[in-house]
Structures are given as C-alpha cells and as structure tokens.
Chain A
Amino acid sequence: MTATATSKNKPTESPDGPSPAGEGPIIQAIQVQKIYETGDLRVPALRGVDLAINRGEMVSIMGPSGCGKTTLLNVLSGLDDISDGQVIIDSATVNTMSDRRRTRYRAEKMGFVFQAFNLLPVLSTVENVELPLLVAGVKMGEARRRALEALELVGLDGHAVKRPAELSGGQQQRVTIARALVNRPAIVWADEPTGSLDSETSRDIMDLLCRFNKEHRQTFVIVTHDPGVARRGDRLVMMRDGLIESDEPNHSES
C-alpha cells in the first residue's frame, strides 16, 4: 500500500522504450477483484488476483471460457476499472488514476492486439498504424515514416495504402501488431491474437510477437485458448473461476 502511495505522483516515463530489465515487476496485480453488476445481479469476474510480470517477459494466460482472462487483461491495461485491489504498472497505480491520465498512460506505455483486429475500416493500413503516434503528438511526417517502418517490420510494406477490408485476416492481424508496436510500448496486451486465424497464419503471427519480445525486450501478455500459442510464452498462467489456478514457467520450446 505504501508503494502505491509513493508511486502515485511519480511522473510517467518517456514512451521511447521500456526501462532496462531487472528493476522488478512492470505489472503488478494485488488482490484484484472485479464484480460486474447488472441490476441486482452481481457477477464476480475476478476474485482477488495476485500477479506480477517482469519487464521483457512474455506471459500467456489460459483458462476455460468465463474464467476471467479477458477481464484480467482489461483491468491490468486500464481499459476497465477494478472493484477492489491494486494494479501497478511500471510503478504507477493505474486504478487510482483519472480516466484522462490513464488514457494518456495507455497511449504512452501500451499496445493492443485483439482477436477481431479492430482496425478502423475508413483508414488505410498506414493510417491505422500511425494513429497511436499521432495521438501521442508525433508530427505527421515522422509518424508516417515510423508507421511505414513498422509495416516493413511485419512484412506489409507493399500494402500501406490498402484498406483493412482489402487484406486477409493474417495481414490484418499483422497491421494490428504494427500498430501495437509502432509506439515502442513497454507492454503489449494481446487478447486471442490468433483466435480468428488458421494454424499456419497463427504460427506466423506468434513468430512475429516472439521476435519483437526478444529483439526489443517488450513485455507481452497474451490471453489465449490455444495451447500452441500459450506454449510460446515464458510463463503460463492458468485461471479458473476468477482466480489464478497456477503460474509456472513455460519450459516448452518456442
């Protein structure tokens, strides 16, 4: 609790990249509870989750449907509020931040990859990728340059002016990854990143995520149903009924 109080007013870090490894957990969940209330109905989705993820780690979260995986990802990333407990990201207590500060924090430190891609259909590929940079206040020319670089990194340099609808599912997910990484965030949250893809494309996508994790030492938190995907992480967290059932290092080969 004291740590939370002291970290509250700490200025957020530069978005240029993650801090060097070895400074303790970048993500910390302390007794996190999340209860959904619909009228008189109270549905506990998280029932006191404790979790710590170190900088540069790639953590997979698995569990049956409704166990609270996505909810955990949402509350850790600040997309959702918690009912009780504490979420500390890079020494800053996210759950007590104002919506405005939390949004800015997300823009600076986090990237997202979702199963449904969630690309903006009205923007071209490169425009989708440069969007987080523009939100962060990067100048237009610079943003375009970095977006094109990111597209090149994910192997889509020839598709910059295409609209999402003109791309295959795998290509769309690559665009999502480029968009998630273009800001060089400290943490990338991925919710079922291969859920809509065939096995071969899934493998390509996971190769890509692992490569970035290794090359840039960015922290990856991946929620998945797919044991194949889960095995690619450094750690495997198993959830059941809103609690962490097991949290073990992953010894399988990536």
Chain B
Amino acid sequence: MEKLFGLPLNDLMIALIIVFGIGVLVMSVLALRNRVVFRMGARNVPRRRAQTMLIVMGLMLATLLFSASFATGDTVTNSIRMDALTNLGRVDMSVQSETTDSTGRRARFDEDTFITVQLALAGVPEVDGVAPLLTAQAPVLNPATLLSDPVVNVLGMNPFHMEGFDDLVDADGNALPLSNLGPGEVLISAATAEETGATTGSEVSTFFGAQPTQLTVAGVYESGGNPAGPNSMVLPLAMLQELTGAEGQVTSVIISNAGGPLEGADHTDTVTAAIEPALQGTDLEVRPLKQDALNEADAVGSSFATIFLVFAQFSIATGILLIFLIFVMLAAERKRELGIARAIGMQRGHVVRLFAFEGALYALIAAAVGSVLGVAVGWGMVSIMAVAFQELEFELAYTFNWRTLVIAYTLGMAVTFIVVLISSWRVSRLNIVRAVRDIPEPRSGGRRNLRGLILAVLLPVLGAFLAFVGLQEEQAGLYMLGTSLVIIGVPLLLLRFGLNERLAYTIAGVALVAWWLTPADVMEPITGEMQQGIELFFLSGIMIVLGGVWAVMYNSDLLLKAIILVFGRVRGLTPVLKIAVSHPMQNRFRTGVTVAMFSLVVFTLMVMAFIIHAIAGVFEDTERLSGGFDVSGSASYLNPIEDIRAALQKPDGVSLEDFVAIAALSNNPVNLVQDGTGNEPVDFVIRGVDAGYTEAVTYGFVTMAEEYTSDEEVWQALHNEPDTVVVANYLVPSRTDFDFGDVPPEFQLEGFFRSDPLPEVHVVAQDPLSGTERRLRVIGVTEELAFYGAPVMASQATVDSFVDSPMPPLSFMFRTVPGVDAEAAAQALETRFLANGMQTAVLEEEIRSNAATSLMLNNLLQGFMALGLVVGIAALGVIAARSVVERRQQIGMMRALGFQKGMVQLSFLIESSFIALVGIGLGIALGAGLAPQIVNEISREVEGARLIVPWTNIILVVVVAYGAALLTTFLPARQASRIYPAEALRYE
C-alpha cells in the first residue's frame, strides 16, 4: 500500500513518528521534572495485574483494528504486485500504437520503429534492454492427447535482442535459448504444457487462422515468457510474423529498465522522457506497464484496507469509549487518594500528569500488543481471504510491511493517548473534600449551567443550519446530522427551562430512534431523493444507538420492575436479582457507555447481516443473474466464428437443436462521449448484440425511456430502432454511493441518477478508424444484477451502420433446451469450436462460485467488525473488577445478612448479563428496526432483494457475545464471592 485515505503512506508515517517523538519527548521531560508524580503513575501499572491486563486489552483494540486492516491491504497489494511481476518479468515499459486495429487490439506497426526506440535509448543508463515484440492469442491442441488450451498468449521475440530481459528457464533451471530453435519449433509455458499434455518433442496444432499450424515443442519453460499470463508460447519473431501474416510488423517494443523487476519501474519517467521526442508525429505511445500494474496493485490494496477500516470505525469508536470509561473508573477508584494528594498540595496539573503518565505507559504497552496482535489477526483474515480468492484463481501471499506496522503503532498510540489526556483533564477537576470523603459529585452547578445553556441553544441552531444546507445540497448525511442535532438539542434546551430530566432524555432518545427509523418513502415527498454515502451508515449507528441508550437508561426502573416481576417469583433469586439489576441502574454513566458499546457493534453486525441475507437471496436466482442464458463462450479473434448458427446446423457433438437461444456478441472499440457535455471522448467499447440476444435476454432495467412500459419492449426497441443503446447501471451515478477508493469507470453519464426517470440522453460514438460519428439515444439503464451485460450495448445493425470494419462476434451466449446438461453442452462447444479457440463457462456454476466467494468475504468483514465486541466484553470485565473493589464492604454486609458465596457470585454474573443483554438486545432491535429501510433502499436498485431475518447471525451474536461477557466477569465474580465478610466489614 502506498496511500491511505488518499494520503501517501510515507508522509503519514513521518508525520506520525514526529507526533509520537514529540509526545515521548514532552512526557520524558515532564517525568524528569515530576519524578514523584511519574513514580506514582508508573507504580499504579503493576498494582492490579488482572485489571492492568483488562485495561491493556481494552486499549489495544483500536490499534489492533488499524494493524489488521493494514495487513490485509498490504497482502492484497503485494499479491497483485507479485502477480504483475510474474506476468511482466523485467518488462517495465512498452511502445505501442495508440490506435486499435480491426480486431480491437492495439494496431501493429512497422518493425523499424524498434530501431528508432533503440537509438533514442542508446546511452540511457536507466535502460538495460530494448526488444521488438509481436503478440497474438491462439488456441493450441495436442492431437496426441486431444487436450487443448483455448487461449494461449503467443509471443514472437527476436532472439538477438533479448538481452536485459528474463531468460526462458525450464523446471531444472536450464536456459532455453530462442536462438537454438529450429524451423517450426516453439517453446511453451508449463501451464500450457499441463493443459495440453504436451512435453518436449510433442507436435501441437495452433490455430492462427481457420487452418491449424503444426509446431514442435522444443522445450517447456517455467519462467521467462514475459509479458504474458501463465499460458503462453514463445517463438522467434520472424516465425510468428510469417504465421500471422504480419511480416515486418510488431505489436510493441518492450523495454527493460535497469535494476530488478521491481526497481525498474522507478526509472519510468526518465525513460519516457528519453523516448517521447523520437515518437513525435507518430501514433505511438509509451506505456509504463510496470508502473501501471504497481499503481493498480496499490489502489486495490488501499481499497481493501479502506473497506476494513471503514467497517471497523464502529469498533474503533467503541474502543475510544472504552479508553474513556477505563480512565473515568480508574479515577473513581483512586478518588480518595487523589483527593488526599490534592489536599496535601498537589496541583490540578499534577493530577493530569499523574494519569497521563500512567495512561502513556498503558498506551505504550497496548499499542505494541495491539499492532502485533493485529498482524496475527490480519494473517487469520488473509488466510480466509486466500480461500475465497482461490475460487478466482488468484493467489494471496500474506505480507506485512514494517511501515504500516509503524503507522498502526503510532496511530493507535496517538488515539489512545489523546483520549487518555482528555480523561485525565476530566479527572483532575475533582473536589477535594468530596473526593476525600467519597461523596458523590453533585449535578451541574451554576457556571456549568450557563455553559450548558449556551450549548443547548447552539446545538439546535447548528442542527437547523446543517439540515438546511443538507437539504439544499441534497446530501442526506448532512441533513440527517442536522435534524438529529435539533432533536437532541430541543429537549436539552427545555431541560434548562425546567423540563424533567427523564422526560427530556426519553423524548430525545425516542425521537432520535423514530426519526432514523422513518422509512425514506415517508420523507422523500418532503426532502426529495438525496445522495448518501457510507458516512450515513456510521451516523445512523451512532445516532440510533445514542437514542436507544438514552431511552432505555432513563427508563431503567420500568425495566427493573419488569425483570423482578418476571423472575422475582423464583424462590431465592429475588434478593440476588434486586441487587444485580439495581447496581447498573444506579451507575448510569458506566452502564450507559457499556450498553452503548455492545449496542453499537451488535447494531452494525445486524445491519450487515440483514444486507448480506437480503442480497444472498438474489444470488440464488442464477437464472436471473445469467440473463436467461446457461453457457457463455468466447472465440479467438484470429479465427472467429462468422455464423455460429450456421456452424451448428451440422451436428458434431452439439447442434442447433440443443439450444433455445444463441446470442452472438461483438465488442467494438469506439471513442465515446455524452452529447452536450463538452467532455473529452474516451476510448470505450460498444457491444453489438444480435436478435438472438435481445429476444432471449431477461435482464431488467432500473430506468428506461418513458415510451416503454416493460423490459422486453426496451430490448425489442434496441434491436428494431436504429441508433439506440442501453447502458449498465454503473455508468450512471447513484444517490447511494459507498466509495472505498474504487477506481471509477472511465466513462460515466451525467445529469441524472439511476433512480430517476430516464431523461433524453444521447451519447456520441466515433469509429476510431474512419472517424465516423453517430449520435445514439440511451433508452435504458440495465439493473445492477446484469452481470453478463456490457457497459454499453447496441444492436449489431447500429454498430455496423457507423463502424467501417465492425468486429466479428467473438462472444456468445447460449440457452440450452430443457433436459440438455449445460456443462456437457459447454464442453461439447469447446470441442466443436476448438480451432476457433472457443472457451466456455457454465453460468450457474460461475455465479454460485462468485456468490460463495463474496459470501466468504462478507462473513470475514462481519467477523472483523465483531472484534468490536471484544471492546464491550473488556468493558464489562473492567466494570466487574472495579465493582468488586468498590463494593467490598457491601459484599461483606450481604454475606453477614446471609448471602451465600454462590449468591454473591450470581449477583455479579447477573449484573454483567443484564448490561450485556440490554446492549445486545438493543443492538439487535435497533439493527432490525433499521434493516427494512436499508433493504428497501437496496431493492430499489437490486430488484428481488428482500428482508430475511438472519437468525443464525442473531443467535451467534447473542451466544458468542453473551458467553464471552460471562466468561470475562466470571473471575471478578468469583473473587467477590471469596471476600471474607469480617475483613470486608473492617474497611471503612
């Protein structure tokens, strides 16, 4: 990864190291100048080991999440880089034509250009190899085994110019020089050898046209056939030129820069600058292949890290709450000693420093533990991802970069320490007498009231302003934030004018929940459709949970009564229950914060589970996702199938009668621009579809031109009405745009959203070869699930009308007759059209496999989000440990009154259970409350998405979260039960 949230990692790391260094320096100087205070703070760390462990566990969570997110990003980046490096080898750049030929590939150019480039780079020390290259794709058949490889990248290399590039090396490490090849001899890659069953000496048939060419395999290489994928063939340039009828022509001039395969990319700019003058006036361009591949790897890696970080933000937020809670509780525990310290002359600043020293030590340990554990968690996540990616034939190799480890550590440390400083400041504001005598703090005083009043006035005013701006800008996030602030602010303002506290918070809480749970359909007539991003999800979680916690905590007495009413009848349980439930209700702040932690994480897990279940149902409808087809196929451009129906007339393993529908599709390169926008045209591809496609396809449209009333009508119009196109939904902006740093499509329509009625929109397509332009009307936007559609589709007739040399159909879609096995048909098609390089896929299988991969990644994301539950569980542990100390005397009294050890233990366990279950229950209820709205929103674009209650997830969350909470509280509860009554009562 090179960037995070758009910031270069190097800069981020340097900035964080500087902040960290300054922090350490300041703390060290303060420690030297306040040795006693530092010693007091430091000695508190090992004072209660179990508690310290819990604190470290709580504090490390944020760092762990940073570290694990970075690890996944690094791994994805590195794996894509490795993949790119394997395919490119030492090829760093290439000179290629800017234009495409009639096959849609980069046009060939004169081989002499190689000399021009070579001369331009002569004496450039950053270059260590220049070579001409001709490439083609052809199917290869081994007649001896009848095995074939339908798509083999064939590389024609000049044996005398390959110095500076990778040698072709066989499995034993022996070089396979091209110059040793005799006439008709080729080298093939290990992957192609395996696919075709060919070995050295095998005769293979290669189809560079309709007729096969017999070639002899002179060797099998493990590496060195660059730039190409794993399935490749290498032969002398002159031989390939002859075989493909491209005498004197090449497709590119490849350049190897000095340095290793990775470092070569560093010289991209220098080498580009050296070549460009020589290419002026030609239609050739320099392509930084290696640099592009590395950039793409970085972008995808960053995108992965961002996804995990975005979904971890709830957990990070709860982690921050926990840090705050821990320090507030530590302060409560040490209230008396702090009061005494203040009484004997310690300044308020000393108290801040005392806690800051202690907190800094915890943060140092926690950030270290968190970043290292994050690496381990990241490894676990990558292991799961690796299984998912295996389906996509992409290998993930776990990587963790020291730089991101430093960033995770310093970032975690910084976040923790800032929260520690804020909590320390709060702690220092204790009243000496109240602290020494352990008297509870009174409610806000006069000065605070004035400040509170100003805040209470400002909050709704600011809220109203934000809501207004949000409405004007059609930004749902801003609008909802503003309205929420008004909802929070108004009752708080009324509180200042005498409204009952319970009523104020209940009104604010209930109103907040109700407001966020109001369906969009109800609001839209007033607000209109608004744009929303991922921030809305985060905001909704915070606001709904805040509202829910207020409503519950300020009405907890009702809850208590209900619990006693239900369970109080159980003999012997009543006194335990009363005490267990009364304590959390009494300590509203710490209970509220802990309940909020649980709720927030469970809420996000629930919403995610509902979304995944809603969409998973759609994935099961493979018929719909495949557009009504069963098999897809593609043929080689070197030997296209001109008329597949005619070809299938004659039965040969497979015939026309096996299929209900056959669609032939062509991909045509054009320059495309939206009419009237004044934008620069971009290189794009229009897919030409025949009647076989438009008659059979079942994809729907999210929006269509007003004269059409059904999907079928649009498809019919596409075929019958000239100069019409349909576009994919991702070419039209959406109001709900969850940006994770994905690369946007090169071409996007403007002026409307995909959920709007389709206005009159035209695109202008230009044939790059002839320059002929055509204004095409957009008549429909295909649904999100049109997986096998294309970005822009027009009838083949429309394409033919303005493209001088239209592409032959190279893609095909088949719908089989009921009773015909799709897999058998697919195999039969490959065999039947072997010479055409036919490669097929069974769509149902492919969709299920993709769905499984996506489900696995979604589950991983959920698992990652669930790490936040650890925060809540740690909070419970801290509270329980603190309660044991705090209630020592009360426990003694309870024991004196006849509470058995088990009853004391049970009361602690019930207390934790109560907090955990209220939090979990609230999270589930709020998540389930919001889910219909979100699913409804999804179903607007993904037809068929429906609300399914994720029972398994609910049960899993309850069992795991509650079980872990009980386990964490078990030790403090046992400790409480073992308190000796006489000793406990002796404490004053």
Contacts and interface: CB of A to CB of B under 8 A. Distances in A.
Interface of A: 70-71, 74-75, 77, 79-80, 99-100, 103-104, 106-108, 112, 114, 116, 118, 120-123, 127, 131-132, 134-137, 140, 165, 179, 191
A127 B983 CA distance: 25
A103 B903 CA distance: 11
Contact of B582 (A108, A114, A122, A179): A122
A65 B899 CA distance: 30
A112 B889 contact: no
A133 to B, nearest CB: 9
B336 interface: no
Given A100-B900, A121-B586, A134 B575 contact: yes
Contacts of B616: none
B896 A79 contact: yes
A70 B579 contact: no
A118 B893 contact: yes
B575 A114 contact: no
B586 A107 contact: no
Contact of B988 (A99, A116, A135, A165): A116
Nearest to B571: A137
Q: Is the interface of B mostly helix, strand, loop or mixed?
A: helix
Interface centre among B894, B901, B981 (most CB of A within 10 A): B981
Nearest to A176: B893
A106 B895 CA distance: 9
A107 B583 contact: no
Interface string B582-601: 11011000000000000000
Interface in B869-908: 889-890, 892-901, 903
B155 to A, nearest CB: 80
Q: Is the interface of A mostly helix, strand, loop or mixed?
A: helix
B108 interface: no
A106 B898 contact: yes
B897 A80 contact: no
A201 to B, nearest CB: 19
B921 interface: no
A137 B982 contact: no
24 contacts: A74-B982, A74-B985, A77-B896, A79-B981, A80-B982, A106-B896, A106-B897, A107-B897, A112-B896, A112-B897, A114-B893, A116-B889, A116-B988, A118-B889, A118-B892, A122-B582, A122-B585, A122-B586, A123-B579, A131-B897, A135-B899, A137-B572, A140-B574, A179-B897
B888 to A, nearest CB: 11
Contact of A107 (B440, B890, B898, B988): B898
B3 interface: no
Interface residues of B, number: 33
Contacts of B569: 140
Nearest to B983: A80
A160 B583 CA distance: 19
Given A134-B578, A137-B571, A80 B980 contact: yes
A136 B980 contact: no
B571 A70 contact: no
A143 to B, nearest CB: 8
Interface centre among A121, A135, A140 (most CB of B within 10 A): A135
A104 B898 contact: yes
A218 B189 CA distance: 101
Contact of A103 (B583, B895, B985): B895
B893 A120 contact: yes
Given A80-B982, A112-B897, A120 B575 contact: no
A123 B575 CA distance: 11
Q: Which 3 A-B pairs have the closest CB atoms?
A: A107-B898, A80-B982, A122-B582
B898 A123 contact: no
B722 interface: no
Nearest to B892: A118
A104 B988 CA distance: 26
Contacts of A127: 578, 582
A114 B569 CA distance: 31
Contact of B897 (A70, A74, A135, A140): A135
B898 A120 contact: no
Given A127-B582, A135-B899, A179-B897, 17 more contacts: A79-B981, A80-B983, A103-B895, A103-B898, A103-B900, A106-B898, A112-B893, A120-B579, A120-B890, A122-B585, A123-B582, A131-B578, A134-B578, A135-B903, A136-B898, A140-B568, A140-B574
B582 A132 contact: no
A3 B691 CA distance: 109
A71 B894 CA distance: 19
A55 B476 CA distance: 78
B898 A118 contact: no
A131 B586 CA distance: 18
A122 B440 contact: no
A107 B574 CA distance: 15
Contacts of B901: 99-100, 103
Contact of B575 (A80, A108, A131): A131
B33 interface: no
Contact of B890 (A100, A108, A118, A135): A118
B898 A135 contact: yes
Contacts of B900: 100, 103-104
Contacts of A74: 982, 985
A79 B985 contact: yes
Given A79-B981, A135-B898, A70 B986 contact: yes
Given A122-B583, A123-B579, A134-B578, A79 B898 contact: no
Interface centre among A74, A116, A118, A134 (most CB of B within 10 A): A134
Contacts of A108: 898
Nearest to B580: A122
Contacts of A80: 980-983
A79 B578 contact: no
Nearest to B987: A116
A103 B982 contact: no
Contacts of A123: 578-579, 582
Contacts of B889: 116, 118
A128 B900 CA distance: 17
A132 B981 contact: no
A119 B303 CA distance: 58
A165 B439 CA distance: 10
B971 to A, nearest CB: 20
A161 B900 CA distance: 27
B579 to A, nearest CB: 7
Contacts of A79: 895-896, 981-982, 985
A118 B897 CA distance: 11
Contacts of A70: 986
Contacts of B574: 134, 140
Contacts of B988: 116
A191 B981 CA distance: 14
A205 B757 CA distance: 84
Interface centre among B575, B890, B897, B899 (most CB of A within 10 A): B897
Interface string B464-507: 00000000000000000000000000000000000000000000
Contacts of A165: 440
A100 B983 CA distance: 18
B901 to A, nearest CB: 7
A191 B983 CA distance: 14
Given A80-B980, A123-B578, A118 B985 contact: yes
A108 B903 CA distance: 16
